[in-house]
Amino acid sequence: MTPQLKKTNLLKEAAFINGKFVGASTNQRFAVKDPATGEVIGEVPEMDVTDCKKAIDVASNTLKTWKKTTAKARSDMLERWYDLMIENKESLAQILTAENGKNLTESRGEIEYGASFIKWFAEEARRAYGDVIPSPVADKRLIVIQQPVGVVGIVTPWNFPNAMITRKLGAALAAGCTAVVKPAHETPFSALALCELANQAGIPEGVINMVTTQKHTKDIGKEMAESEKVHKLSFTGSTGVGKLLMEQGASTIKKISLELGGNAPFIVFNDADVDAAVEGAIGSKFRNTGQTCVCSNRLLIQSGIYDEFAKKLVERVKKFKVGHGFEEGVTHGPLISEAAVEKVKRHVDDAVSKGASIAQGGKHIKGNFYEPTVLLDMNTSMAITTEETFGPVAALYKFSNEDEAIELANDTPFGLAGYFYSRDVGRIWRVAEAMEVGMVGVNCGSVSFESAPFGGIKQSGLGREGSKYGLEEYLEKKFICMSI
Ligand SMILES: *[C@@H]1O[C@H](CO)[C@@H](O)[C@H](O)[C@H]1NC(C)=O
Ligand SMILES: *[C@@H]1O[C@H](CO)[C@@H](O)[C@H](O)[C@H]1NC(C)=O
């Protein structure tokens, strides 16, 4: 543990209900480990459905008063929360690196990115306008107002332990909703630190509640999906779990937002700026050691520049330094778990067994560390084509023309992000329109901004987060018809 981590008062080894840091009703706890070393960072409560029900009751009671606060009051509180996140950026980043493994630069970047959603929704809180509709009849007036959905259940992943929470909570609180959050068991400390700062920001007790669990994740997800007191569920994670929650949520016609898996294509055409494409691919493929849902999974490279692109990509990947995220100069940290390493191994082995060649890396180092890898001669028979790797493996497929590239890119049930590089303006429009995804990066390898809509189509999810659209997910429209 770093000296800074030891002295921060933001490392909370307790869950958060009704403004208090609390234990589980059973008093059980589980350990949270540094994925780079396996060392225990601390313990948090092992909560079960009983605790979750308590948290839901608190959120439900608090809703009565919170929904009546003014947009300005909520906006001011969110602004203070944002300021505190920025003031405590270093401690938050240290906690994040300790439990997630990404290097400190990336962690600091995530804290700024995460905080930006709070600021954005502090501003958007004041713009939840309604409508006055010109009436078709003389004696009536037609009005639409927007009101908070109610109590929101939020389930978040470990890969962005800060930002995936703020992107949801910022919008929920801005709209006037209260929330019960279940952070990933791998990374609860980043989440709990936000609760401490929310207290300091003056966000009333009971507005945000957080239940931690490892063993009872499924039951708590089910409780959130099925409870009549929870009006909306927002989940970021795997498509499999998303489908299950949607099914469970059907029993109460739950409003639901899902940010699920992707299988992002990254296309480079012959007319691209190859150096820029290589830089874009480095960011898009290897950020967070390949563990983001918008990471490119299939690099589709046109035959004319395939060899040049591959050579330059390998040169860049060779410069990576793998190690503990706290170590100076380390560009890539560990994977989150042994299971994650196993999946990467399986994908590489499968590709190689079907004829792919390893241009760089391709080996398990030790523990949760895997070499950043470049695979050539990929084809559609290989597992990487259809499954998200979620690891540091750049898989290069060769294509010959635009139609083939689009067909390959869209040949997946997923549709989160897609990227392509070209300098032909006609092609840029054609391909951007043809890609079956929610977000397209044209000559850029990153598509995430607090002000832009994040989300997928097909089996990558429902709804959008961030941006002006993100607030709508937490608002209901009420039509008022008035006789005069
Ligand atoms: C973290 O990695 C990035 C590249 O992914 C690199 O630019 C940065 O310098 C690294 N940070 C540290 C502290 O070494
Ligand atoms: C993939 O490549 C292998 C090895 O070259 C070949 O045997 C196989 O037929 C290819 N499959 C497809 C679908 O192209």
Could you read off the pLDDT of 169-199 as tens digits, one per residue? 999 999 999 999 999 999 999 999 999 999 9
Q: Is residue 5 predicted with pLDDT exceeding 90?
A: no
pLDDT confidence of residue 219 = 98
Rounded-to-integer distance, Cα 395 and Cα 435, Å: 19
- pLDDT digits over 312-341, tens only? 999 999 999 999 999 999 999 999 999 999
Rounded-to-integer distance, Cα 469 and Cα 207, Å: 22
Q: Is residue 1 predicted with pLDDT exceeding 70?
A: no
Residue 217 belongs to what H/E stretch?
A: helix 217-226
Q: Quick one: tokens of 103?
A: 């290097």
Nearest ligand 1 atom, CA 330: 14
Which residue minimizes the CA distance to atom 1 of ligand 1? 331
- pLDDT digits over 251-289, tens only? 999 999 999 999 999 999 999 999 999 999 999 999 999
- What dotted CATH number matches 264-442? 3.40.309.10
CA 463 to chain centre: 13
Nearest ligand 1 atom, CA 105: 11
CA 246 to chain centre: 18
Rounded-to-integer distance, Cα 261 and Cα 141, Å: 45
Which residue minimizes the CA distance to atom 2 of ligand 1? 331
- pLDDT digits over 94-110, tens only? 999 999 999 999 999 99
Q: Is 357 in the pocket of ligand 2 (CB under 6 A)?
A: no
How far is ligand 1, taken at its centre, from the CA of residue 274, in Å? 23
Query: For residue 428, what pLDDT band results from cuts at 50, 70 and 90?
Result: very high
- pLDDT digits over 464-473, tens only? 999 999 999 9
Residue range 349-366: average pLDDT? 98
Rounded-to-integer distance, Cα 344 and Cα 358, Å: 14
Q: Quick one: tokens of 364?
A: 């398990």
Let me know if 433 is exposed, middle or buried by CB neighbors in 10 A (0-12, 13-18, 19+): exposed
- pLDDT digits over 213-253, tens only? 999 999 999 999 999 999 999 999 999 999 999 999 999 99
Residue range 408-431: average pLDDT? 98
Tokens 């990576």, residue located? 320
Which residue minimizes the CA distance to atom 5 of ligand 1? 331
Q: Where are the domains of the chain?
A: 15-260+460-483, 264-442
Least distant ligand from the CA of 408: 2
Which residue minimizes the CA distance to atom 6 of ligand 1? 331
Least distant ligand from the CA of 354: 2
Q: Is the pTM of this model over 0.95?
A: yes
Q: Is 380 in the pocket of ligand 2 (CB under 6 A)?
A: yes
Residue 54 belongs to what H/E stretch?
A: helix 49-66
Query: For residue 7, what pLDDT band results from cuts at 50, 70 and 90?
Result: confident
Which residue minimizes the CA distance to atom 10 of ligand 1? 331
Q: Is residue 64 predicted with pLDDT exceeding 70?
A: yes
pLDDT confidence of residue 2 = 72
Query: What mean pLDDT is reported for the chain?
Result: 97
**CA distances in angstroms from 304 to 106, 355, 385, 406, listed in the order given:** 34, 21, 22, 17
Residue range 382-399: average pLDDT? 98
Q: Is residue 16 predicted with pLDDT exceeding 70?
A: yes
Query: For residue 347, what pLDDT band results from cuts at 50, 70 and 90?
Result: very high
Residue 193 belongs to what H/E stretch?
A: helix 188-200
The radius of gyration of the chain's CA atoms, rounded to the nearest angstrom, is 23
Ligand 2 pocket: which of 381, 399, 400 to mutate (most atoms within 8 A of CB): 381
Which residue minimizes the CA distance to atom 11 of ligand 1? 105
Nearest ligand 2 atom, CA 355: 4
Residues touching ligand 1 (Cβ under 6 Å) are: 103-106, 328-331
Residue range 131-153: average pLDDT? 98
Least distant ligand from the CA of 350: 2
Identify whether the C-beta of residue 159 lies closer than 8 Å to the C-beta of residue 291: yes
Q: Is 4 in the pocket of ligand 2 (CB under 6 A)?
A: no
The CATH H-level (homologous superfamily) assignment of domain 15-260+460-483 is Aldehyde Dehydrogenase; Chain A, domain 1 (3.40.605.10)
Percent of the chain, pLDDT > 70?
100
CA proximity to 67, closest of 152, 144, 2, 150: 150
Which residues participate in catalysis according to the annotation? Answer: 259
Least distant ligand from the CA of 320: 1
- pLDDT digits over 44-54, tens only? 999 999 999 99
Q: What angle do CA 269, 441, 291 make, to 5 degrees?
A: 105
How close are the terminal C-alpha atoms of the chain, in Å?
Answer: 69
Q: Is residue 25 predicted with pLDDT exceeding 70?
A: yes
The strand pairing partners of 302, in sequence order, are 399
